[in-house]
Structure 1
Amino acid sequence: MDLPYAKERLIAELAVQRAALLTKKVLREIDKGTISKSDKSPVTIADFAAQALLICAIHHNFPDDKFVGEEAADTLREDVELQKRVWDLVSGSYLDDRETNALLSTPVSSEQMLGIIDLGCGPGGRTGRVWMLDPVDGTAAFMRGQQYAVSLALVEDGHEVIGVVGCPNLILENGEIHEDRVDEEGYGMMLSAVRGQGSSVRRIASGGLEAARKIERPLDVVGVKELHWVEGTASASNDIDKQWKLAKSLGISWPGTDLYSSQMRYIALAVGGGSINVTIPKKKDKISWVWDHAGGHLILKESGGLVTDLNGKEFDFGAGRYLGENYGRVVAPMSVREEVMASVVQVLGE
């Protein structure tokens, strides 16, 4: 008997794999000089094209499901040349294995592609099945050839049940992740999880899925000084000074593993490349989009990680297109969580 969500997981993994390959193709065209890096057009093309492929694959297999995505097709309708470049990329993207590729679907026209992209403009909500996706998380890092992610998650009645994150530049060395240490020859790694079934990791391939291995939970730390921080110092919306003060008050080296992509920070924490992350927004009303968290959040939890917001609340993925019921983030092992939270309260009160 198949495990719950077996088909959904398979299609999601294949969809992310195909979209990740597309983004990698764009990067390699930049390296060859075929695509200019003088403006933001490469990441714009990759964003739209990857969203089209992700939604098309899911919609083909689960036509009644809804979507929340980052992009809308208005820009493509206004810019015919850009639309053509995206269509050329989408229409030429296939998995090498014909039988595997047949499980997915590709738009049959540029006009259909625009409609599929716009399916991602849904409001989300607390009822039904909603797929949340970020076709390129970490766009600035993508443009620099650093770590970025292609993420997809299924949220059912407001709760994450599937998370898949493709990391096309990722090389895992003893669980460590480095922004500038990238997979130039291959296609990186993909991580996935189903609620209650743990998390796994595999290499991204050009055809069918490669064998996966389970992500084993790292041993709990004894004291806070054993923690390894995961940070995003380039964030303009987070209070980096307070985050540094918090790390200093706990006696932890900072910034530790520094990654621009929000999804990649979840991945680093999931695979043992770090054990603590505290995110303090500069403003309490700061919007935190669901696609920056959905997918990686579940992978981290299913690998044994403990994640809440700064108030100790679970993330609410049923609140809509952003995490309107949550403020900030705390990731820390249970063994030291009480001490970490006490320091968080103190720093927030200053």
Structure 2
Amino acid sequence: MDLPYAKERHVAELAVQRAALLTKKMLRAIDKGTISKSDQSPVTIADFAAQALLISAIHHNLPDDSFVGEEAADTLREDAQLQKRVWDLVSEKYLDSAETEALLSTPASSEEMLDLIDLGCGPGGRKGRVWMLDPIDGTAAFMRGEQYAISLALVENGFEKIGVVACPNLNLENGKVHEEQVDKEGFGLMLSAVRDQGALIRPLSSGELQPAHKIERPVDVQNREDLHWVEGTTSKSNDFEKQQTIAKSLGGSWPGTDVYSSQMRYIALTVGGGNVNVAIPKKRDNKSWVWDHAGGHLILKEAGGLMTDLNGKEIDFGAGRFLGENYGRVVAPDSMREEVMALVESILAESKKGK
């Protein structure tokens, strides 16, 4: 008998693998078709094309499910040349197996491609099944040939059920995640999880899914010197002064493993690169997009990790396109969690006094 969500997981893993192959092809292109969004973050034609393929695969197999994705097709509708470049990418075959390509489905026209991309403009919420996706998390790192991710997660009635994250440049030869330690020979790695079924890791390939093995996180640390931080120092929304103060109070080196992509930080915390992360927003009303966390969060949790917000609340994926019910984030080993949370509480209390 198949485990719960077996079909959804299989389709999601194949869909993410196909999107990862698309991005790997684009890495070889000199001109990645880069434009800027309203928040000045870069987006490439690969972002649009990967979103179209991800949604196409899920929508074909699970037509009643809805989507929350990062991209919208407005720019492509206004720029015929850019639209053609994305369509050319979407139209290609990426998996060696024709049977698998047929299972996933591909848009039949450029207009259908645009409509599929726009399915990602859904509101999310607590009711029904919502697929949350980031076609390329860490686009700037992708453009530099560093670590980036393709993420896809199923959230049902507000709870993560499936998480799949492909890391096409990930090379874990020394057991650590580094921006510049890139898989130049293969296709990188994929991590996936189903709620209450554990987390798996496997090599990405150009054909069928490769064999996977269960992720076993290291034994819980007992000493401060065993703490290793995972950070993203390019973030414009986090208070690094407070985060560094916490790290120094615990005696750890900061920033430790410094990676640009939000999803890659989850991967580093799961398979190698660190065991503690604290994110303190500069502003109380700072909002995080759900697709920067959905998927990677479940994989970390199913591998034995724990992340809450700064108030100790579980992460809520049912509040819409943002994590509107959570403030900041904390990941820490069980043995050190109480101490880390106490430091966070103290620093936030001091900050309030100073205002």
TM-score, length of structure 1 as denominator length: 0.96
Amino acid at match of 2:260: Y
1:84 counterpart residue number: 84
* Contact in 2 for aligned 1:22/1:93 (Cα 8 Å): no
1:335 counterpart residue number: 335
2:306 counterpart residue number: 306
Q: What is the CA–CA distance in structure 1 between the aligned matches of 2:301 and 2:326, rounded to whole Å?
A: 17
* Contact in 2 for aligned 1:158/1:319 (Cα 8 Å): yes
* Post-superposition offset of 1:223: 2.2
1:54 to 2:54 alignment: yes
1:134 counterpart residue number: 134
Secondary structure of the structure 2 residue equivalent to 1:123: coil
Q: What is the CA–CA distance in structure 1 between the aligned matches of 2:322 and 2:289, rounded to whole Å?
A: 4
2:285 counterpart residue number: 285
Identity over aligned pairs, percent: 75
1:69 to 2:72 alignment: no
* Post-superposition offset of 1:168: 0.5
Give structure 1 stretches of 5+ with no counterpart: none
Secondary structure of the structure 2 residue equivalent to 1:153: strand
2:210 counterpart residue number: 210
2:347 counterpart residue number: 347
Name the CA shift for 1:136/1:182 in 2 (closer, same or farther; >3 Å). Answer: same
* Contact in 1 for aligned 2:34/2:45 (Cα 8 Å): no
Q: What is the CA–CA distance in structure 2 between the aligned matches of 1:84 and 1:347, rounded to whole Å?
A: 52
Secondary structure of the structure 1 residue equivalent to 2:161: strand
Q: What is the CA–CA distance in structure 2 between the aligned matches of 1:276 and 1:220, rounded to whole Å?
A: 12
Amino acid at match of 1:46: A
Q: What is the CA–CA distance in structure 2 between the aligned matches of 1:326 and 1:51, rounded to whole Å?
A: 26
* Contact in 1 for aligned 2:35/2:44 (Cα 8 Å): no
Secondary structure of the structure 2 residue equivalent to 1:216: coil
Q: What is the CA–CA distance in structure 2 between the aligned matches of 1:240 and 1:64, rounded to whole Å?
A: 42
* Post-superposition offset of 1:287: 1.3
What do residues 191-220 of structure 1 show as CA deviations (whole Å, max 9, x unaligned)?
A: 000000100101110011000011002100
Q: What is the CA–CA distance in structure 1 between the aligned matches of 2:32 and 2:133, rounded to whole Å?
A: 26
Amino acid at match of 2:296: G
Number of residue pairs matched? 346
Name the CA shift for 1:129/1:226 in 2 (closer, same or farther; >3 Å). Answer: same
* Contact in 2 for aligned 1:277/1:331 (Cα 8 Å): yes
* Post-superposition offset of 1:103: 1.4
1:3 to 2:6 alignment: no
The root-mean-square deviation of aligned C-alpha atoms, in Å, is 1.4
Give structure 2 stretches of 5+ with no counterpart: 351-355
* Post-superposition offset of 1:43: 4.2
Secondary structure of the structure 2 residue equivalent to 1:102: helix
What do residues 197-250 of structure 1 show as CA deviations (whole Å, max 9, x unaligned)?
A: 100101110011000011002100102331110000111111111111110011
Q: What is the CA–CA distance in structure 2 between the aligned matches of 1:88 and 1:208, rounded to whole Å?
A: 23
What do residues 319-338 of structure 1 show as CA deviations (whole Å, max 9, x unaligned)?
A: 00000000110001111110
Secondary structure of the structure 1 residue equivalent to 2:228: coil
Name the CA shift for 1:199/1:29 in 2 (closer, same or farther; >3 Å). Answer: same
2:267 counterpart residue number: 267
* Contact in 1 for aligned 2:175/2:271 (Cα 8 Å): yes
Q: What is the CA–CA distance in structure 1 between the aligned matches of 2:176 and 2:12, rounded to whole Å?
A: 26
After the TM superposition, which residues 148-297 of structure 1 pair with which residues of structure 2 at under 5 Å, given as runs? 148-297=148-297
* Post-superposition offset of 1:175: 2.7
* Contact in 1 for aligned 2:68/2:124 (Cα 8 Å): yes
Name the CA shift for 1:243/1:24 in 2 (closer, same or farther; >3 Å). Answer: same
* Post-superposition offset of 1:39: 6.2
* Contact in 2 for aligned 1:43/1:143 (Cα 8 Å): no
Q: What is the CA–CA distance in structure 2 between the aligned matches of 1:143 and 1:23, rounded to whole Å?
A: 10
Q: What is the CA–CA distance in structure 1 between the aligned matches of 2:43 and 2:143, rounded to whole Å?
A: 7
Q: What is the CA–CA distance in structure 2 between the aligned matches of 1:99 and 1:228, rounded to whole Å?
A: 44
* Post-superposition offset of 1:97: 1.3
Moved more, 235-244 or 51-60: 235-244
4+ residue segments displaced more than 4 Å: 36-43
* Post-superposition offset of 1:102: 2.0
1:316 counterpart residue number: 316
TM-score, length of structure 2 as denominator length: 0.95
Name the CA shift for 1:36/1:70 in 2 (closer, same or farther; >3 Å). Answer: closer
